[in-house]
Amino acid sequence: MNRRRCLLLLVPFLLSARAVQAGGAESVNAKARRARTACLAGDYAEGTRLLSELFVATMDATFIYNQGRCFEQSRRYDDAIGRFQEFLRAGKNLTKAEKTDAQKHIDDCKELLASERPQVTPVAPAAPLPVAVEPLAPAAVVTTPTAPMPQPNTPSPSSAGSGLRTAGILTASVGGAALIAGIILNYESNNLAKELKKTDGYTPGKESDRKTYETFSWVGYGAGAACVAVGAILYIVDSRSANDPSVSLVPAFAPDYAGAFVKGDF
């Protein structure tokens, strides 16, 4: 048995004699051939999958070794090292030659990984250049003209107004989106109401969904209308303030109220 395995170690994959004895010689051999073909064709994912199925069916660690060979042939050296190490751990009755062979594959994969990684050569810092020291010349009196003090940037009425206009457009856009959402939710609520009227169409879940859609549709209508109205007010205030700086939007607060009103002549 050990003599036969040592001979099979010379080929890329090992066909396990113990797996053949475990039952179903033709099926195990056929799957092993499929795994070898997949790995040689570069399809390591299919090859290692088939080998995993063979290991689970036979509990023969030879198929773990074959997974390592499949990864090694596909230049996936990190995965190959892990499979060879698992083979040494899972193999219960490994011979010295089998352990030596697996360890050699691990060492080869580590060397190949090191050769593929880019080598970074440290760069020595450049020596500082010598600085020639010259005698100091007599200090000259230099008269520096006084620069004018920078004036603070005062935002012009047009720039302030453009901010209100942008805020109005954004607020109205949000309101439009909320109105569209309310329409969609109302449509869904009406569809569920029609289904509930059908024979055997009533269920507590559908009724709960209908009420939820109906509630949120009204919320969308209310919030959308409010946002559109506020956006329109901001836009109008911006248009007025561009021509008349006395027009402004003043916030108003009370214990049970929060809002704003427009101040100016219209």
135 or 118: which carries more pLDDT confidence? 118
**Facing residues of 249 across strands?**
262
Q: Comparing C-alpha atoms, which of 14, 22, 16 is closest to residue 57? A: 22
Last residue of a domain, one of 84, 116, 148: 116
Three-class DSSP category at 87: helix
Is 238 within a domain?
A: yes
Q: Please check whether residue 98 is in contact with residue 63, taking contact to mean a CB–CB distance below 8 angstroms.
A: no
Q: Are residues 173 and 102 in the same domain?
A: no
Last residue of a domain, one of 116, 149, 175: 116
Name which of 89-103, 172-186, 223-237 the model is least confident about. 223-237
Three-class DSSP category at 9: coil
What is the C-alpha to C-alpha distance for residues 246 and 152, in angstroms, rounded to an integer?
22
Last residue of a domain, one of 64, 83, 116: 116
Is 151 within a domain?
A: no
What is the C-alpha to C-alpha distance for residues 56 and 71, in angstroms, rounded to an integer?
19
Q: Is residue 166 pLDDT above 60, yes or no?
A: yes
Q: Is residue 97 pLDDT above 90, yes or no?
A: yes
Is 133 within a domain?
A: no
Is 143 within a domain?
A: no
Taking the CA atoms of residue 223, residue 224, residue 230 and residue 236 in that order, the dihedral angle to the nearest 10 degrees is -170
Q: Are residues 99 and 201 in the same domain?
A: no
Helix (H) or strand (E) holding 63: helix 62-73
Write the CATH number for 84: 1.25.40
Q: Comparing C-alpha atoms, which of 93, 94, 38, 92 is closest to residue 67? A: 38
What is the C-alpha to C-alpha distance for residues 51 and 167, in angstroms, rounded to an integer?
64
What is the C-alpha to C-alpha distance for residues 68 and 78, in angstroms, rounded to an integer?
10
Q: Please check whether residue 242 is in contact with residue 157, taking contact to mean a CB–CB distance below 8 angstroms.
A: yes
Over residues 163-184, mean pLDDT? 85
Mean of all residue pLDDT scores within the chain: 76
Q: Are residues 174 and 250 in the same domain?
A: yes
Q: Are residues 11 and 105 in the same domain?
A: yes
Is 138 within a domain?
A: no
Q: Are residues 93 and 171 in the same domain?
A: no
Q: Are residues 252 and 173 in the same domain?
A: yes
Q: Please check whether residue 8 is in contact with residue 14, taking contact to mean a CB–CB distance below 8 angstroms.
A: yes
Taking the CA atoms of residue 210, residue 211, residue 213 and residue 217 in that order, the dihedral angle to the nearest 10 degrees is 140
Q: Are residues 96 and 195 in the same domain?
A: no
pLDDT at 30: 92
Q: Is residue 50 pLDDT above 80, yes or no?
A: yes
What is the tens place of the pLDDT at every residue in 195-228?
778 777 778 887 888 889 889 988 888 888 888 8
Q: Comparing C-alpha atoms, which of 62, 64, 94, 98 is closest to residue 79? A: 64
Top mean pLDDT of 99-108, 137-146, 211-220 is at 99-108
User: Which distant-in-sequence residues (6+ apart) come within 8 Å of 180 by Cβ?
Assistant: 220, 224
What is the tens place of the pLDDT at every residue in 174-202?
888 988 998 998 888 888 788 778 777 77
pLDDT at 22: 46
Name which of 7-16, 107-116, 124-133, 164-173 the model is least confident about. 7-16
Number of domains in the chain: 2
What is the C-alpha to C-alpha distance for residues 30 and 36, in angstroms, rounded to an integer?
10
pLDDT at 15: 47
What is the C-alpha to C-alpha distance for residues 217 and 198, in angstroms, rounded to an integer?
23
Q: Are residues 107 and 193 in the same domain?
A: no
Top mean pLDDT of 69-73, 122-126, 137-141 is at 69-73
Is 140 within a domain?
A: no
Containing structural domain, residue 107: 2-116
Q: Are residues 173 and 109 in the same domain?
A: no
Task: Work out the end-to-end distance of the chain between its first and last CA atoms, rounded to an integer number of angstroms.
Answer: 105
49 or 123: which carries more pLDDT confidence? 49
Over residues 25-48, mean pLDDT? 88
Name which of 12-16, 47-51, 73-77, 176-180 the model is least confident about. 12-16
Is 191 within a domain?
A: yes
Is 139 within a domain?
A: no
* Residue in the structure block whose two tokens are 């994969």: 109
pLDDT band at 160 (very low <50, low <70, confident <90, very high): low
Top mean pLDDT of 74-78, 88-92, 220-224 is at 74-78
Q: Are residues 24 and 104 in the same domain?
A: yes
Share of the chain above pLDDT 70, in %: 63
What is the C-alpha to C-alpha distance for residues 68 and 70, in angstroms, rounded to an integer?
5
What is the tens place of the pLDDT at every residue in 54-68?
999 999 999 999 999
pLDDT band at 152 (very low <50, low <70, confident <90, very high): low
